[in-house]
Structure 1
Amino acid sequence: MNLLTRVAEAWMAGWLYGAGLLLLALLAQRLGWLRSLWQQEQSLRWLLFAPSLIMLLHLSGLPEPLQQSWRSGQQALTVWWQQREVVAPINPEAAANRRALLTLVAHPAKSATVDSSISMAAASTPLAAESIAAADDAGTFALTPPAAPVSTQAPSAPWQLHLPLWLASALAAFLVSALLLRTAAVARAWRQQAKRIQQQPLWPEDRLSQELRLISDRNGLPAPTLRCAADDASPHAWSPCTISLPPWLPRVMTLPQQRAALAHELAHLQRADPRWRLAYALQRAIFPLPMASRLHADLDQLAERACDDWAAEQAGSRRVMAESLARCAQHIVSPGSGLASAMTTRRSPVVARVQHLLKEPMMKSVANRWPLSLLLPTAVIASAILLPGMVISDPAWAAGASATPTARHSPAVPPSPEPPPAPEAPQPPQANARPAPPPPPPAVPTPRQSPAAPPSPEPPPAPEPPPAPEAPQTPQASARPALPAPPAVPTPPAPPVAPAPPATASVAHFDWLFGERTVIEIERPGYALEARIKGDFKLQADESDFAQIDGDVEVEETRNGLTRELQLSRSGGELQRQYRVDGRPADFDSAAQVWWASLVKQMAREGLVSAQDRVSNLLTQGGPAAVLEEIAQVNAQHARASHLVALYQQAELTLADLNASLGLTQPLDSDYELRSVLQTAAKHQRFDQQALMLACAQAERIESDYEARVFLQAAAEQLPADRDSLSAWIKVYRDVQSDYEARVALQSLIANPALQGQLLQQALVASETISSDYEHRMALQTLAPRIRQAPELVRIYARAVADIQSDYEARMAITALMEQADLPPSALIDLVEAVDSIGSDYERRLALQSIAEHSANDAALIERIRQSAKPLGTHERGMLEKTLDTLNG
């Protein structure tokens, strides 16, 4: 096994035991075994980094000799325990049992006369007759057993994972590569954050800078560099000695609150929290343990509480620190960096920290920290040494290794069987033993079972083949005619036609450490293509061959069982070709050139070349018709969608070409690809009724609510003002299950000024499908300004408000309509009917007040308002009457 395998073994051991220790840490924290913040933080840190420590110990090879020493000590202790003299008192009642036991061991033949309980005790005791000494007068006897062989089996043998050598090496290489990539990602994020911090401008010299220097000098700490972070929502501490402050901090905080905020970030630097966060991130990258993110969050909160306490002590008031936290929490708009120590974040339990500051006294230092600080690493190291490790071994090698120890242990086993020779004493009474021989003959009958040839008579059942003639029964033959139904199998030929467009095709471009690489894979019934291109390349203008390659090109195509391979490489400035057919070298003749030209063209269609460039060239050569003809031959969904998007963006299509292009979206199964095509068409092309209905018919296949909503928004902007177009749009809208997405789509429709009269009424009715009271109210609130031009819609609006279950949302919808539209009293009476569905006295009173303020002293409307107010309580009704009296006065 190589070094990579050793690393994989050590990593698996660290991950396994680290997960167990992590669960123990979380359990101890939840049960309250760790009382102080310091104990919790130190414990969680040790247990978080335990997997790395275990991995390093296993890589160093230290646990193996220590485990051998441990096993030797165990064996020595076992020998001492077995050889020591055990003295036990014997009561008078057990004396008879002792004599019976001596007789049983010395003369086994007489065992029949011994009590069954005594016999069982003797049978289960590994003592020879010479091991029993004479009892003394005090009623005791000594048992001195002979030295028994000591088992050499390792108490903590490593767990073995048997894999072939090649598979173990491949898995180990994959694991190590994945860990390196994850670690590199964390390092890259750290460098990017450091670069961003260095680019921030310095904080101007003002009172804040002076306060920071005073706090630093008072505590004997170096004064950190202050920087202005315009994009940060909270103060941040950054290693090695930098504090970033948002520009709003001096405006919203008093001087004591600013002092507390600065002290909080200075505490982070004093504790080296930014570096600890980097270490946590690296640990999580190397060991992605379950619940590790939860442990990381707990460590962050413990650090925040410790810094809160220190900052409160510097500010002289825990309440000032709590107020500073609240001020920061009000300005959080972004999560911030995961590697910098922020004063507050969006997901931090600020309320719990404020309660901690306001209710708990100042934290006192723990008196005895050294015992715990020594106990934790000792426990982790002991678990790494004493627990078994992981071993990846080849099955053949493992089989040979396992056979060897069994041979070694076999000599140790014979001593134990030596006691059975004692039963040889019964051999003299072989007469009695003769009954025993009969049992061996039963073993002989096993050969007699071979005469079990009687089963051979079963051949007579062979004559049962006559029933076989029954098989020839013509009825079964008649069943065979049913086979003509399978000729319906020829129908499958139709499926091959369908798979052609939606054939599985993928094009991947890589630009990584080892250079550029392109991989194309296409597969459908009877056809498979795999192409790998290393380095940059360029095709000829007609896309019939490669004009230039920087690396190698390997292509393998299988069509109807015929496999063709072509390898291209550059040598001396020229392209070298190696052509094979079914694995045998062949001449690259004219037929091969025709095959290769069509294959390069197909790869260009599937995404080898940018769709934007191809569509631009095709438009120049043959216009939209040439592009549509080319798109019809594209199999990969992403490539087809990219060509359609490019066509819509680069050309203004006629209605005939637009309808034809929308028909080419039928093979697209991806919601994203289909939506991107339809959305681009709606934005860059002019839809008539037929085009919009065709686009909506395709959009009905979209299952994602988000993707459907995005298309509906784009289509609503140029929706033709006719009932059929609106009905097609609403049909797609009704398939949206999310109330939020439905509301946003409906708001886009309502914003279309082309909707008037009956069309606007149809849109208002569509809002009734929204089940969320809040989203329903928001949709109605958007529609309220449009009702000013159509007072006849108030009745439908009132009916929609009555369907809202929330009294608050219903009242808000009525108030919005009153504020946006100047309606006649006759229309307001219809709105009062919607108020009757509001059960809350307070909300009903507010809704009636908003209607009364626009009543224009209409007597019929005032009377209807008073009728609706009759169920109100005395207070709310009195408040409404005052409003009515004021309006009448």
Structure 2
Amino acid sequence: MSDAIEVLGGAFLLFVWHATLLLSAVWAIERLGGLKHPGWAELAWRVALFGAFASVGFEIASVRNAVWETPASAQPAVDVSASPTSPTLASATIQDAPNANRANPPKTSAASAAPLGEESATATPTKAAKATTSAPIAYAAPSRPWELDARTIEIALAIWLAGVLVFAWGTLRQAFALRRLKRRVARRGEAPSEAVAASVARLSSQMGVPTPVVHTLPDLPGPLVLSGVFGRGAILLPRWVDGLDETQRIALLAHEIAHLQRRDPLWRPLQRLALVPLFFHPLAWRAVRRLEALAETLCDRAAVERSGSARALAECLAECLARQTDASSRSRFDPSAPYRSMWAVAMAERSDGIVARVRHLLEASPMSLSSIPKSVRWGAAALALLAVLALPGVWVVVRDRDQSLQVTYRNGGTSYRMTSDMPVAGDRYRIDVRGDVEFDAGETDVVRLGPGASVEIEEKRGALLRSIRIVGENGRIARHYRVDDVARPLDADGRAWLAGAVPDLYRLTGFDAQRRAKRLLAEGGAARLLVEIDAIRSDGVRAEYLGQLFAQATLDDAQFERAVAAIEAMESDFEKRRALGIALERDLFAPTDQARLLTIAAGFDSDFERAEWLSQATPRFEIGEQERPHWTKTLAAFDSDFERRRTLERMIEAGRPQPLATAIALQSARAMSSDFERRSLLEKAADSGIAVSDTDYLQVVDAMESDFEQREALLALIRSGMPTRERSEAILRSLRSVDSDFERSEVLDALAAKMPNDAALIRAYRDLTRDMSDEARGAAERALDRFRNG
């Protein structure tokens, strides 16, 4: 998994966690009867909706500083030198990341993932080491991590990103609709009446708002408030506003100006944008609905205060509802209709909300609530921000699987991770290498760290927990060693433990395999490298080192036998096939090795890997009668008819000698279950130009149950050349198992056009038509007319 996925996964889960905490808290308080004042309710819901963005950003920044900017005074760093002592590890299945190249990792720094721990130390230089300070990265694990399976996180992120794209597109369409509406206002907007203009100017002055631009649109069902038209806020009014009395007009205009006073045209798109990454969260949708409803409630209060009449405002809302219903029925499918632009603030949008507001205005006394002083609001907002930043800093660390053995290596474009289980329950072993790292020749310590590089090792054996973190600090290599989570100087026991862990890194990851294999060969030749290969438990790394052995060394018979035995000991069919393929490409196998290689292939569990290996090996060996039983046994090991068929096709194409290879392939095809795969192979054999044995071919045909597939296979044999009398008789015998008159007639027609003019053959032909329908029998008889005419 890439560092970007790890960072995004951790940030996403922390974001969801904080958003859920905040939104749930406000929802619960409101359900319990709190937040009666709409102003306090609005503040609470805004903090809940936007707070997670602030808290997660703060958490990332604080974790980054806490982990990477450590003091340089807690403990001394010590040079490492000791003899290697390697712990016993579990067998592991290698999982290569895309574009992985274990042999030659590029010399570039890599982003670092969640470290296993952070210890402070004063760095002292080693003799061979020189490194720059480790560059901070986007995140590291804090002291309270949650670990989740990486595959689960990847699926969740994929679904989330798909949803974000869908909702972002919808939000973008709303923004475009608003832009079109503004252009429409510029083209078609009409000046308001003098009475409306005077009321707007007077109310704007009283409410401390710059006088907005006012326009009338002929087909607008209700008032709208926009931001940014002609550089100022704008109010769009329908023509029916001119018919209102003075009190109603003041109530309506005061409501719209209150939106501008509260900056609702700016809050509305921000709330919609905040909803995009939280599209899946039901409480986020409730937050947006509540905020929009509360904005209308507070503007209603301001309108009643200015007009002095709740009824006047209720009558305006009722008029909006009536006009909106009529307009919606006429413009239902027009997404750019002004009253459907969700970024514009409309006086009346949702019909159920309008009815509730009208009832509230007429039946209750909602306007008696006092305004919240601005200083109080700012103070409450500051306290809320502090509460948000104090949310639990739980970072979700994304790991491939929660397994006890984990090894990670990343350097630039190279990415590698493997996971497995330790042989003893409760034991744990983790190695994490990031960036350009170089170890000494004795494989006991780090001698060079590239920019941003680090090495982290953690091991728990029984009750003993040890860890070390090697990083660049202030231009030096610092080693932070801990035993049972207590910082310790790196003593002799610690040096021996580290010296054993470094070879583990090589043996578990295949890190720098090409250069290491070259060095081992220089030390002790092929025998030294074979000893190292025997010590490697990972099939993938063993295959890598065997490939280097085959590429760089000259082997005698005993050494080659030992290498093949190492291949046979592998559990992974893929790695087994890969190692065999390297040896095969270098012509290291003798003809006498053919039987052994076939036995190895027969032992594969994967039909795919067996097919791949046999397809690669087939052209390299000449098949003799002595090897025929081995080929038959290996081909019988297939469970998949598809994999068997493509292997047999390869034998027909490239087997040597072709007649024998084809005969073995046809005999193996009889064991297939799929008539389609049988027929496909027979067509390949018939079209190959090889002299195919009629007996072998037709035995495969006779094993079929499908009349259609039998017909196609027989037609392919007829097309392959002029059938002899013997082949024609064999085809007629095989055709007796075809029950369908149509399929039988098709074959008879094709055979009659090519078979020899032989009286006994014609009698056998006619005998086959006796139990056919009159129509089919007549067509078959007509096909024999060429003998009568000639």
TM-score (norm 1): 0.44
**Greater RCO, 1 or 2 (C-alpha within 8 Å, sep 6+):** 2
TM-score (norm 2): 0.49
Which of the two has higher C-alpha Rg?
1
